[in-house]
């Protein structure tokens, strides 16, 4: 099975995956990259109201083969603040 590496960027911190995961096919790679982003957003967002989350997937040669991103923005309307 080929090995894939999932690098994460939350706009503040970048994490390079040096361990990787053996996955059977590219659809599994796609699903895993997409699935990681909402959990990351839940962990990070108490620190702010706007963030972009990116998961870049590298293959065994180090080439980025897939990117998933999630943008989050929260804002009060009519000048209200919590």
78 in a structural domain: no
Question: Residue 45: its pLDDT value, please?
Answer: 66
For the segment 47-69, what is each residue's pLDDT rounded down to a tens digit? 667 889 999 999 999 999 999 99
Range of the domain at 20: 3-73
66 in a structural domain: yes
Whether the model clears a pTM of 0.75, i.e. scores above it, the answer is yes
List, in order, residues 6 or more apart from 2 with CB less than 8 Å away.
22, 23, 59, 60
Question: Residue 7: its pLDDT value, please?
Answer: 98
81 in a structural domain: no
For the segment 25-51, what is each residue's pLDDT rounded down to a tens digit? 999 999 999 999 998 888 776 666 788
Whole-angstrom distance, CA of residue 53 vs CA of residue 40: 8
Please give the structure tokens belonging to residue 53: 């989350």
Contact between residue 7 and residue 19 where contact means Cβ atoms under 8 Å apart: no
52 in a structural domain: yes
Q: How many domains is the chain partitioned into structurally?
A: 1
33 in a structural domain: yes
């Amino acid at each position: 099975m080929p090995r894939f590496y999932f690098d994460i960027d939350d706009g503040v911190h970048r994490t390079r995956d040096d361990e990787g995961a053996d996955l059977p096919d590219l659809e599994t790679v796609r699903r895993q990259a997409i699935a990681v982003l909402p959990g990351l957003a839940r962990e990070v967002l108490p620190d702010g109201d706007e963030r972009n989350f990116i998961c870049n997937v590298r293959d065994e040669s180090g080439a980025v083969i897939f990117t998933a991103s999630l943008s989050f923005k929260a804002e009060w309307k009519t000048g209200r603040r919590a």
